Amino acid sequence: MSQQLSNILMEAGTNEVEVLVFHLNDGLYGVNVAKVREIITMVPLTRFPNVHPAVRGVFKLRNQVHPLVDLRRFFDMPPAKDEQDSRVIVTEFNNGRMGFMVDHIDRIHRVSWSEMGEVPNVTNDDDTAMTGVLRIDDSLILMLDFERVAFRVAGITDLEAAAPQADGADRGEVRVLLADDSSMMRRMLNDSMVNAGFKKISIASDGEEAWNTLKKLQAAGTLPDVIVTDIEMPKMDGLHFTKRIKENEQLKHLPVIVFSSLVSDDNLKKCKSVGADRQLTKPELPGLVSIIDELIGAPAA
């Protein structure tokens, strides 16, 4: 059985998100519908050697082969007593597809990012795969970032090596504002940009913080030369943040780069509709610096 998701195109910049809620080990979890292509029943698997323990194998769907990640295994939960009702959430992000095995599907909710609470500080892990906590009726939904799960399964912990070294261009005076809710990604972005010669970098952990930082910089007369923002962030997402910038007469000239795992055709349209100057996926980190150079014209050394 396959359930195609229409992924209704909401008006961009409304700060709303559609959340697919699913069950896992008696808990409720959620994922942004924008990452979900379809939901299927369990399929025949081909075992794959020398992979992360959470990878159950690979499966073929519409002439494409996808890995299947068992989320119970990933989170060290006990195995399900009966996998008959288990479902596979087929996702697409960072230009790739992957299946995630869950116990069963609940439903889709449409909510505002402003309703998303922060993850409680109950772990020593500075990059938990949870991105927020959502309250729906009397239930708490833990928002799960499948992208971070995929990074860990693939053994990706640092993208800095992929970023260009300082190459003679004088980027030391270029002011950059970065917004991303992932502490790991913020570190990667900051380290890679420092590696490329940037020195004046302001960092925010969500769109609301980025907007407040931008207004403070404006008041101080030190506006950034370029803004790099993720899309999925609690409180205020990157699309709404970009829309605010581009609708402000004093700020609309600022170049905005959307740097996200969600740069699909639909999201490219959304990015364009709110005025983003460029969009690229997170694996395209090596191209970020050259795009900044192009947009602002980094002065030669």
- Distant-in-sequence, close-in-space partners of 86: CB < 8 Å, separation ≥ 6: 41, 42, 80, 101, 102, 103, 104
Gyration radius of the chain's alpha carbons:
20
CA distance 54 to 77: 11
Per-residue pLDDT of the chain (301 residues; tens, 9 = 90+): 455 554 444 567 788 889 999 999 999 999 999 889 999 999 899 998 889 999 999 999 988 999 999 999 999 999 988 888 899 999 988 778 899 999 999 999 999 988 888 777 665 555 578 888 998 888 899 999 888 898 888 876 555 444 555 555 678 899 999 999 888 788 888 888 898 889 999 999 999 999 999 999 999 999 999 999 999 888 999 999 999 999 999 999 999 999 888 766 777 788 889 999 998 887 777 788 889 999 987 544 4
Query: Where exactly does CATH 2.40.50.180 map onto the chain?
Result: 2-154
Task: Look up the CATH number of domain 2-154.
Answer: 2.40.50.180
Q: Which residues pair with 67 in a beta bridge?
A: 58
Kindly tell me the burial class for residue 270, based on how many C-beta atoms sit within 10 Å of its own C-beta (0-12, 13-18, 19 or more). buried
Q: Which CATH number fits domain 160-296: 1.20.140.10, 3.40.50.1970, 3.40.50.2300, 2.60.120.260?
A: 3.40.50.2300
Question: CA 185 to CA 96: how far, in whole Å?
Answer: 19
- Does the pTM surpass 0.85? The reply is no
CATH 3.40.50.2300 in the chain, residues? 160-296
